[in-house]
Amino acid sequence: MRLGLDIRSGATDEELIIARQFGAVDAVGGPDCIPSDKGYFDFHELVVFKQRVEDFGLRLAALENVPWDWNDKIKLGLPGRDEQIENYQRSIKNAGSVGIPILGYNFRPPVSGNYGVRTSKSALGRGGAQQTSFDYDLIRNEPAGEWGEITASEMWNNLEYFLKAVIPIAEESGVTMALHPDDPPASQIGGVTRILNSHDGLKHLIDLVPSDSNALDFCQGSVSVMEGDVHDAIRYFGSRGKIAYVHFRNVTARFPKFAETFIDEGYVDMAAAMAVYKEAGFDGPVIEDHVPVVAGDDPKKLRSRAFAMGYTKALIDSVYGRR
């Protein structure tokens, strides 16, 4: 396993320098790092961004997500999705040509204005640290959005249509498509049925279009709030080579009510989880994720992220050996 840095919301020089000093070797970027109005990731923009990461001694291991308006019709099965898929295929080809091996994505329409859903960003945790949290009772009755009700069958059909169009391109381009589980794992939010909210749903996803290029962005926090043992999920998907990279975070409890807490404080045994990753044969990137806000921190939460990265680095060294 390789320590990485989360730069999905963009990265300052300071972040990149400090991450390398902490021992990170990989970075995971996102659409905020490559602002574009083209509807796809441009080859030359990818070259410049990848080179910037490498200039700081890091490797750009993955890009995660695209802007909502690049794939909304794909997810909702609306007219115009074929044009969006063509652009997605172009992004995949460009990523492969540049040498970016993984494209992370999710397949849930945004509800409450973002990709994930949290009901609080100021829940108090250890020592007064502010945590993000979720309580399903607070949004259980959220009305359907502008797209109306979307059934499980419709979502699966839309996902299969997408995968059959992009996975062959990913195979040709040497790129792995890595799906992020639904977060949180409610059965529906705002009229949208969630299909990737269980171990069985994730298993069905990788079986839907069998390919080495069809894998998971294994968000341990998201899987930890699902029913079932997260260690069993790591073992199942990891042993099959279906974990492309990991979001390594801890949570206080399972759905329907949980908070994202310090990495050493949640209910999941993180040392045991690290051992299972090694047992399953996973040796890819791992990034910090959704860390609490600690006293005196800056907007990029470097203090809190330093704690999470240091803790993760120690677990990697203890389980995999120093590297």
The per-residue b/e assignment along 36-59, b for 16 or more CB within 10 angstroms, e otherwise, is eeebbbeeebbeebbebbeebebb
Domain ranges of the chain: 2-320
Diameter over CA atoms, the chain:
52
Give the pLDDT confidence of 228-282 residue by residue, as tens digits: 999 999 999 999 999 999 999 999 999 999 999 999 999 999 999 999 999 999 9
pTM: 0.96
Contact 231, 273 (CB under 8 A): yes
Q: Any residues with CB less than 8 A from the CB of 298 and at least 6 apart, and which?
A: none
Average pLDDT over residues 132-145: 92
Q: Which CATH number fits domain 2-320: 3.10.100.10, 3.40.50.720, 3.20.20.150, 3.40.50.300?
A: 3.20.20.150
Q: Report DSSP state, residue 194.
A: P
Contact 216, 196 (CB under 8 A): no
pLDDT at residue 37, rounded to an integer: 86
